A = this chain, B = another copy of it.
Amino acid sequence: MNGAESLVKTLLRGGVDTCFANPGTSEMHFVSALDRVPGVRCVLGLFEGVVTGAADGYYRMTDKPAATLLHLGPGLANGLANLHNAKRAHSGIVNIVGDHAGYHLHLDSPLTSDIQSIAKPVSDWVRSSRSARSVGADAADAIAVANSPRGQIATLILPADTAWTDGGVVGVITAPAAPKPVPNEVVEEVVAALREGSAMLLVGYKGLRAEPIALAAAIGAKTGAEVMSIGRSSRIERGAGRVAIGRIPNPLENIRKRLSTMRTLILVDEEVPVTFFGFPGRNSEIVPEGCRVLTLANPGDDITGALRAVAEALGAKTSDVAPQTLSRPDMPTGELTIDKVAQAIAALMPEQAIVADESITSGRTLFPATAGAPPHDWLQLTGGAIGMGIPLATGAAVACPDRQVINLQADGSGMYTLQALWTQARERLNVVTVIWANRTYKILRGELVNVGAGEAGKIASAMLDIDDPAIDWVSLAKGMGVEGARATTMEEFSSAMRAGLSRNGPFLIEVVL
C-alpha cells in the first residue's frame, strides 16, 4: 500500500467519500489510487474555484467535509477565494494539495511555490506529509480538524513521493468531537439579561437551523427580546412550517440605531457585528458603547442545548410560537421587474428547495418574498469574495441529489466561476441558475458614493459597467452543455422557470434587467 492508497482508505474510514477535484501531475498517484480503492465519488471541476466552492456547498448541506484535490500552489491559489468564503461560513473541508517530491523541491522547477504561505490565510490547519508512512495519520488529523463542531479548513500538502512510496498506513479515525456544552454560569447570565429586558438575540451559523431558531424565537416571545440574524448566513432553514426570525438588511449599519436602545446584545453562534468596509468619517463598529455584549454560544458550542437551557429557565416554549404559514404570492405578469421575479420564484419554489444566493444588489427583495414558500434552505455569500454562487449550488446539488437547487446569481459575480456550469451538466445536477443580468457591478456604483469618491466619471464608469459587450449567458451555458433561456417579460420568466424546475439536470435563465 503506497501513501496515496493509505490516504484514500483513511478518507473513506473517516467518512469523507466525496472529492471535488482538478488534479495535475503531482496528484496522479492519488487519482490512480481512487481506481484501486473504490468508494470515493469524484467530481471534476474545470477550475479550482469551482472545486473549493462546491466543497463549501457540500458541507453546508451535510455538515460533513468533502475533500478537494488541487494541483500545487497555483491550483490552490485558484481555489483560494472560495476557501476564504468557506472558512467564513465555518465549513469543514479537507484540502489535498499535491506538491513536488521532497528531493525535487529544492531545484525550484517552474511550478514550485510556497504552498504553505498560500494555504495559511484560508486554513485552520496546514501540514505537509513527511513520508508515505505518515500520510494516513496526517489525513486522520486533517479529517478531525475539518470535522470539528465548528467546521474548519484543513489543508494537507502531499509531496508526490509520499504518495507513490510504499509503506502507507491507514490513519486511525477519532470520533468527531461533540459540540461543547455551554457552562451553567453563561446560561444564567444570559437568562438574567433577558429578564432585565431590552435585549437582542443575534443568531448565526448553525444556530440558523429550524430547531435553534424555534427556541430563540420562543425565548424572544417570552421575554420581548428581539431575535435577528444577519444578511450573509451560511445556511438558514426557513419557509412554511418553520419559525421565522428577523433579519438585518444590508448594510449592517441598519442595526446600529436599534441597538442603541438595547441593554444587551446576546450572540448565539455569531460574531460581534461590524461594518463590511470602513468608510471615511464613519464608525466601523456597530454595537454602541452602552450596549453590553454577551456570548451564549460560540461556534462549535452546543447551540441548541444552550438555547434549550435558556428557554427552560425562562419557561419559554416553542409550542407558543406560531410557525410561518404557507403563503405564496400570485404569479405576476407583464413587464419584468426584480420584485416580480422574486414573487414568481416564491410562487414556484418546490418543497425542500435549496437556494444558493449570490444575487448581491438584485436579490434584496428575494428573501422577504420567499418567507412563506414551502420549507427550504437558504445559503449566502459569507466571506464577500465574489464567484461563490455557481460552485456552491453545484456542491449543494451533489450533496442532496433529491432536492432542487435554485442559484440566484448576479452576473458580475457569476462570471468569476462560470466553469461550474460544466460540472452541473456532467453530473446531471438539478440546479436552476437565475442570472440577474443588470450588466454592471451595481453594488460598486453605490460604494463609490459611500466611500466619498462621488459619482463615477467616464473611466470609473468603464470599470463598473460590463455592458460592452453584453454577456450572453444563454450562449455561455450552451457552451458548457447547459440548456438555457432568456427572459425579458414575466411570462417568459415563468415559463422558463417552470421548464427548469421540471427537468432532470441543470438549466439557466438569464433575466434581463
Contact = CB atoms under 8 A, between A and B. Distances in A.
A73 interface: yes
A275 interface: yes
B415 A110 contact: no
A340 interface: no
Contacts of A77: 77, 80-81, 84, 385
B469 A473 contact: no
A312 to B, nearest CB: 34
A126 B297 CA distance: 39
A79 to B, nearest CB: 9
A118 B74 CA distance: 11
A343 to B, nearest CB: 28
Given A74-B383, A453-B32, A113 B100 contact: no
A42 B121 contact: no
Size bracket of the A interface: 35 or more
A404 B417 CA distance: 29
A40 B73 CA distance: 32
Contacts of A476: 475-476, 479-480
B274 A459 contact: no
Interface string A79-117: 011001000100000000000110110011111011001
A80 B480 contact: no
A73 B46 CA distance: 23
Contacts of A88: 110
Instruction: Give this chain's copy count.
Output: 2
Given A475-B478, A476-B480, A463 B23 contact: yes
A25 B447 contact: yes
A224 B481 CA distance: 56
Interface string A19-43: 0010111101101101110101010
A118 B456 CA distance: 30
Interface centre among A36, A78, A84, A464, by most chain B C-beta atoms within 10 angstroms, is A78
Interface string A47-83: 1010000000000000000000000011101101100
A178 interface: no
A335 interface: no
A451 B384 contact: no
B84 A73 contact: yes
Given A23-B444, A459-B31, A107 B274 contact: yes
A80 B118 CA distance: 9
A470 interface: yes
Interface in A403-431: 412, 415-416, 418-419, 422, 425-426
Nearest to A119: B117
Contacts of A32: 448, 453-454, 456-457, 460
B457 A25 contact: no
A466 B462 CA distance: 35
Nearest to A46: B415
A425 B44 CA distance: 29
Given A113-B122, A460-B34, A26 B277 contact: yes
A322 to B, nearest CB: 33
A474 B480 CA distance: 11
B384 A111 contact: yes
Nearest to A419: B415
A308 interface: no
B121 A121 contact: no
Interface stretch (A147-155, A278-286, A349-357): A278-286
Contacts of A80: 74, 77-78, 80, 118
Contacts of A334: none
A452 B33 CA distance: 12
Interface in A108-147: 108-111, 113-114, 117-118, 120-122
Contacts of A453: 28-29, 31-32, 164
Interface in A458-504: 458-460, 462-464, 466, 468-481
A480 to B, nearest CB: 7
Nearest to A281: B164
Given A47-B387, A80-B80, A471-B480, 13 more contacts: A32-B448, A35-B460, A36-B457, A47-B415, A47-B416, A75-B81, A77-B385, A88-B110, A100-B277, A108-B274, A117-B117, A418-B419, A469-B480
11 contacts: A21-B463, A25-B443, A31-B448, A31-B463, A32-B448, A32-B454, A44-B463, A78-B81, A103-B278, A474-B479, A477-B479
